[in-house]
Amino acid sequence: MKKLADAQVTIVGLGLMGSSLAGALRGRCRAVVGVGRRAETIEAALARGLIDQGTTDLASGVRRADVVVLATPVRVILRLLSEIGPLLPAGCLLMDVGSTKVQIVARMADLPSHVQPLGGHPMCGKEIAGIAAADPTLYQDHVFILTPLPRTSETALALGLALVKAVGARPLLLDPERHDRLVAAISHLPYLLACALVGTAEAMASADPLVWEIAASGFRDTSRLAASDVTMMLDILLTNKQAVLEAVSTCTAQLCRLARLMETGDEEGLQTVLSSLRDSREAHIGAVTHET
């Protein structure tokens, strides 16, 4: 298996994540090839210097690849994994950047034996989708989770680790079940909560539309994730359903605990819980200034 500097890396999917990854890798490997659905996307990637070559034909895009990264919505990744195996050269490393891992890794296990599979999920992104939002620095200083399979060779894993480090990210190895359980709580649940906040404001606005005019940075910050690409989020939620529902149940219990303290007028108890949660956030994430 080649070193990254000598490898052709093909990125399948030139949305935000794929085009940003392509731009971050260009100059750090022999060539970056982009595969997109539309010719205008390929033209945009070439014009911005994100890729060395591009095509709308999957077979020609991966034919000489040493590394292929699937950077499409999760259910598209699942479909591609059922099709792409015979198209890949022997020894090719096949990665992905999907936000859920259990179903993807299970599908990777069925790839032909000449393919080296390695699941991946970079913990970064934006609400804005598409190549127009591409940012080659997107991955810098962010965790990039890798989920190797039992069949993933040491050399294939080493190449995947080299790719992660080349784009400035910090690799973290996890098994897919643990990954999906953790991201359900810190990524997928927050999206649902943001949507619920917008829905709550909408319900209030039906009686008093002034609510939208007085919404300040506090509401904008906490509802920001509701602006995420719906197609992408549908794939994520429906391929991690059980873990997300468990996170929703835990969150509901936490919210009900706070509501009960308010309902009973237990100011001391409410202060204790809120202070503890604030301290926990600051200890693990850092302090934040907040305007209501």
Q: What is the pLDDT of residues 132-189, one digit of tens each?
A: 999 999 999 999 999 999 999 999 999 999 999 999 999 999 999 999 999 999 999 9
**CA 114 to chain CA mean position, Å:** 27
Secondary structure class of 222 (helix, strand, coil) = helix
pLDDT given for residue 290 in this prediction: 41
Prediction pTM value: 0.91
Q: Report the C-alpha gap between 290 and 268 in whole angstroms.
A: 23
pLDDT given for residue 220 in this prediction: 93
Q: Report the C-alpha gap between 215 and 96 in whole angstroms.
A: 38
Q: Is the distance from CB of 48 to CB of 69 less than 8 angstroms?
A: no
> By C-alpha distance, which of 62, 71, 54 is closest to 90?
62
Average pLDDT, the chain: 95
What is the rounded average pLDDT of the residues 239-261?
Answer: 98
> By C-alpha distance, which of 164, 168, 125, 117 is closest to 145?
164
pLDDT given for residue 106 in this prediction: 98
Structure-token match 């060779």, residue found: 153
What domains are there in the chain, each with its CATH number?
A: 4-174 (3.40.50.720), 178-284 (1.10.3660.10)
pLDDT: which is higher, 163 or 125: 163
